[in-house]
Amino acid sequence: MKKVVKFGGSSLADAEQFKKAAAIIQADPSRVYVVPSAPGKRFGKDTKVTDLLYRMFHEAEEKKDFSETLNEIRSRYSAIITGLGLKGFTLDREFEEIEKEMLTEPDADFAASRGEYLNGRIMARYLGYEFIDAAEVIFFYEDGSLNLEKTTVVMRRRLERVPRAVIPGFYGQGFNRRIKTFSRGGSDITGSIVAGAVRADVYENWTDVSGFMVADPRIVSNPVRIETITYRELRELSYMGASVLHEEAIFPVRHEGIPINIRNTNAPEDDGTWIVESTCQKSGYVVTGIAGKKGFCTVLISKAMMNSEIGFGRKVLQAFEENEISFEHMPSGIDTMTIVVHEDEFKDKEQRVVSAIHRMAGPDSIEIESDLALIAVVGRGMKSTRGTAGRIFSALAHAHVNVRMIDQGSSELNIIIGVENEDFETAVKAIYDIFVLTQI
């Protein structure tokens, strides 16, 4: 049994959290590869070390004095080192190098990556594990995307000879051999890459919540936890998952059929949530999760006899493509098609898109509406259960929510409902209540 364990920033924010993480690792000898994030927030208004590092970079770039920020960062690490009682261990040399880089050639990715690099150094020392710099084992293509093939081969070969190691999250080696980071929250991706490369049995992702909840706890109080969710369900619920797990963290493990277990560093006894390829486990409720987001726009395009006009849809979509706008959903009628887009991405370009649609597709009319919220109701159990849609809509009607759009994915895994922004919370609560609360 081989497990890769990734600890998020709040799990390593100070020495006390470090000790909890170490106790978790030591409690199970199969937890052999550890991927740390940079120290996160210790309390609500605290600043993440990664944000301090970006601040330091900006100051250095503008040739301002960055010593105060550097000292703040240094003191975060000193407090951890002292709190862990690591005698004779310092990061002085590393900090000298950081300072030198900032003075000579400040680079944002290099600066940001030091958060996990330094935390990795401490973690390796504390555990007595080997430290492997992510820049030696993770590679990017020239266009900035991850070179998973090369990474997997190099990482696998390197780790074959190392039974236990700490590999810092969030960065690797760019095409130009300089440090390159993933997008924010990217340590989740590193953990997934390591798990995929060593063909781990489990990728444990330790964070500060006990997994995914059926609905957002800011909307529904004390929602029940999702025990098992499939990768596909999670994708459909991507509005929900983003804050717990980086979207791009799924691919490397999914590729190897490795499950992800989301766990809580502050409550290690909780089983957390399992993310798996497929399962015969029933989700307990017909619905696995409910998630949504406000701030969408709909573009309704009408044209008589649209259904028989070949290429109409392509021309419409081309108008969006040319303006570099991705669309979220596309429900259609016989003479209409609706494109649902993110309002903030769309609003500055809307008139350009409208004229492009007119130019390319010659519709009869185009109507734009805003303030739409989308809610995804997702569940692998929906396919075999009658009346799911009926229950959703009667719950919404009872809650006096007007449904503006409905889109059921053909996989029968999800139903997407569009409501007014202002009805969003009421709608999520109503759906949660009908599927979960009334079943408990």
Binding of ligand ASP at residue 186 (CB under 6 A)?
A: yes
Q: Binding of ligand ASP at residue 272 (CB under 6 A)?
A: no
122 counts as binding ligand ASP under rule CB under 6 A = no
Decide the pairing of beta strands 130-131 and 165-166: parallel
CB of 410 to ligand ASP, least distance (A): 34
Distance of alpha carbon 396 from alpha carbon 436, whole angstroms = 15
Rounded least distance, CB 159 to ligand ASP, Å: 20
Interface residue with ligand ASP, options 157, 184, 359, 383 (CB under 6 A): 184
In whole angstroms, what is the distance from residue 150 CA to residue 138 CA? 8
Stretch touching ligand ASP by CB under 6 A, among 179-187, 206-214, 326-334, 359-367: 179-187
Contacting residue, 50, 228, 230, 273, with ligand ASP by CB under 6 A:
50
Closest to ligand ASP by CB, 186 vs 259, is 186
Under the criterion CB under 6 A, does residue 170 sit at the interface with ligand ASP?
Answer: yes
Helices 67-83 and 92-104, packing angle to 10 deg: 160
Query: Least distance in Å: CB of 186 to ligand ASP?
Result: 5
Minimum distance from residue 181 beta carbon to ligand ASP (Å): 8
Nearer to ligand ASP, 13 or 340 (CB): 13
113 vs 283 by CB, closer to ligand ASP? 113
**Long-range CB contacts (within 8 A, 24+) of 216-223:** 216/240, 216/291, 216/428, 219/425, 219/428, 219/429, 220/428, 220/429, 220/432, 223/432, 223/436
73 binds ligand ASP (CB under 6 A): no
Site size toward ligand ASP, by CB under 6 A: 13
* DSSP output for 234-248: HHHTHHHHTTTS-GG
Q: What is the CA radius of gyration of the chain?
A: 24
Q: Which is closer to ligand ASP, CB of 11 or CB of 228?
A: 11
Within 130-169, the residues that bind ligand ASP by CB under 6 A are 169
> Taking CB under 6 A as the rule, does residue 254 contact ligand ASP?
no
Single residue of 10, 34, 91, 115 touching ligand ASP by CB under 6 A: 115
Examine residue 37 and tell whether it contacts ligand ASP (CB under 6 A): yes
When asked if residue 379 is in the footprint of ligand ASP (CB under 6 A), the reply is no
Which one-letter amino acid corresponds to residue 349? K
Instruction: Select from 168, 174, 185, 363 the one that contacts ligand ASP (CB under 6 A).
Output: 185
Q: Do 235 and 328 touch, CB atoms closer than 8 A? A: no
- Going by C-alpha positions, the residue among 134, 207, 204, 132 that lies closest to residue 170 is 134
Tokens found for residue 378: 């997702």
Separation of first and last alpha carbons in the chain: 36
CB 41 → ligand ASP: shortest distance, Å? 10
Long-range CB contacts for residues 383-389, cutoff 8 Å, separation at least 24: 383/412, 383/413, 385/286, 388/286, 388/287, 388/415, 389/415
Binding site for ligand ASP (CB under 6 A): 9, 37-38, 48, 50, 115, 169-170, 184-188
